[in-house]
A and B are shown apart, each in its own frame.
Chain A
Amino acid sequence: MANLKWWKIAAIVLVLYAIIAGLLMPVPKLPILHESIRNLYFHVTMWFAMIIILLVSLVYGIKYLSGGKQYHDIVSSEAAKVGILLGLMGTTTGSLWANNTWGAWWVNDAKLNGAAISLLFYFAYLILRSALPDEDKRARVSAIYNIFAFTMMLVFIGVLPRMTDSLHPGNGGNPGFGGYDLDGTMKLIFYPAIIGWSLLAVWILNLRVGYKVLLEKIQNN
């Protein structure tokens, strides 16, 4: 424990807090949602963490294009993989919730379609990477595709859902989470949970990048 950095400790504490307090603390009694409103601490926060980690992927992609350092490419691609993991978790938690609240695992909703297409984008990104054997070319072309993917994802989950009604709580044109009727206690768990899951994602990324860098060193020797 001695060499555990402060932000890793924070990640552990915040995620534990989100799980324990998220399941035990009182929540407002709302029709339809009832106790399932607690999914806010997991489903929504995982999407937030996903966006953050994909933003990291984008930034390092741009860094690669301007500098050409291989390390930046490693961070960018690994961040995309962690983003996919969080995206799958977000979809799974959302699907479990939907089955209990809406009565179906998947519905034709603008937000669900946006999420599915964003995942499709990043799967395509991984396939593109595997199709390019040359290291430099792979890094360059996939960074370009990454920039496309992130920008389009913002359009699909930020603009298109606003055009139609969504089944999501607090909706009717506006997909913001302000409509959630968050009361004080929920905010006290919601915001720390976002930070907690994001830090956990960064931690996973940190381990993955370290592993890849070591692998690269071994291969070069």
Chain B
Amino acid sequence: MLLYLINKEIKLELRNKYALGGIFLYVIATVYTSYLSFKNIIHPATWNALFWIILLFASINAISKSFVQDSNGRQLYYYTMLKPQTVILSKMVYNAILMTFMSLLCFVFYSVFINYLVQNLAMFLLVLLMGSIGFSSILTMVSAIAAKTNGNFSMMAILSFPMLIPFLITLIKVSKLAVDGIDNSVCYPYLLVLLLINIIVVGLSYILFPYLWQD
């Protein structure tokens, strides 16, 4: 059932192409704006921080519509047919896939236009993957909460920032290590923290979403 729902999300997304295209265009436009503003960044810390900030806002933009796009009728249909846990997990997995593609695209464009400074590519890609999964699980749950307030975008940002900032700071720290080509063993404790936050968010969402859902 979980796979079926994920499949449905992907099909739905591919069907109205403007949403998916909009997200990718948002990323590309932001990177290009940064390129025009900064031209070329040679300082690794700045390069790294800017990359993650672009990705942060792109993620908020991409995921904020997760629960808004389902019409009331469809939600009622889910409500009678499915366990709420299945719904939240399917959305999280789908968003994680979407975010992974988006962050890879963002990385490629960012490298082409602004600069490529990564020395430990494998670790950087791992961090990128962890970041995508983390952003998607945090933002999916927050978007479920924000949808209850008739889904305005500023509410999404206000509610998600306290959760995202520590996650983002840890991400920036560990990806800076990867950019500088520091040995993998130094990165592991940070990856562990990212994993911990991820597990907590997914676990809490799994427990609490049923309460959120009943209307």
Q: Measuring CB to CB, which residues of chain A are less than 8 angstroms from any residue of chain B?
A: 65, 113-114, 117-118, 120-121, 124, 127-128, 131-132, 137, 140-141, 143-145, 147-149, 151-152, 155-156, 159-160, 163
Contacts and interface: CB of A to CB of B under 8 A. Distances in A.
Contacts of A114: 166
Contact of B162 (A144, A147, A149): A149
B145 A145 contact: yes
B212 A155 contact: no
Nearest to B165: A117
A152 to B, nearest CB: 6
Contact of B161 (A65, A120, A141): A120
Interface string B150-191: 000001001101110110011000000000000000000110
Contacts of A145: 145, 159
B121 interface: no
A152 B162 contact: yes
Contacts of A159: 193, 196
B176 to A, nearest CB: 13
A163 B211 contact: no
B83 interface: no
A131 B155 contact: yes
Contacts of A163: 189-190, 193
A124 to B, nearest CB: 5
**CB-based closest 7 A-B pairs:** A121-B162, A131-B149, A120-B162, A144-B208, A141-B148, A124-B158, A156-B166
Nearest to B160: A124
Contacts, number: 72
A160 B166 contact: yes
Contacts of B215: 137
Contacts of A132: 148-149
B204 interface: yes
Contacts of A140: 211-212
Contact of A113 (B169, B190, B193, B211): B169
A127 B152 CA distance: 13
Instruction: Give the size category of B's interface with A.
Output: 20 to 34
B41 interface: no
A117 B204 CA distance: 19
Given A113-B169, A159-B193, A163-B190, A141 B163 contact: no
A136 B61 CA distance: 29
Secondary structure at chain A's binding surface: helix, strand, loop or mixed? helix
Interface string B92-129: 00000000000000000000000000000000000000
B200 interface: yes
Given A144-B145, A151-B204, A163-B189, A128 B166 contact: no
A152 B148 contact: no
Contacts of A151: 200, 204
13 contacts: A113-B169, A114-B166, A117-B166, A124-B158, A124-B162, A132-B148, A144-B145, A144-B212, A145-B159, A151-B204, A152-B197, A155-B196, A160-B193
A113 B145 CA distance: 25
Given A114-B166, A131-B155, A137-B148, 10 more contacts: A117-B165, A127-B155, A132-B148, A141-B212, A143-B211, A148-B141, A155-B196, A155-B197, A160-B193, A163-B193
Given A113-B169, A124-B162, A160-B166, A65 B196 contact: no
A144 B159 CA distance: 12
B158 A152 contact: no
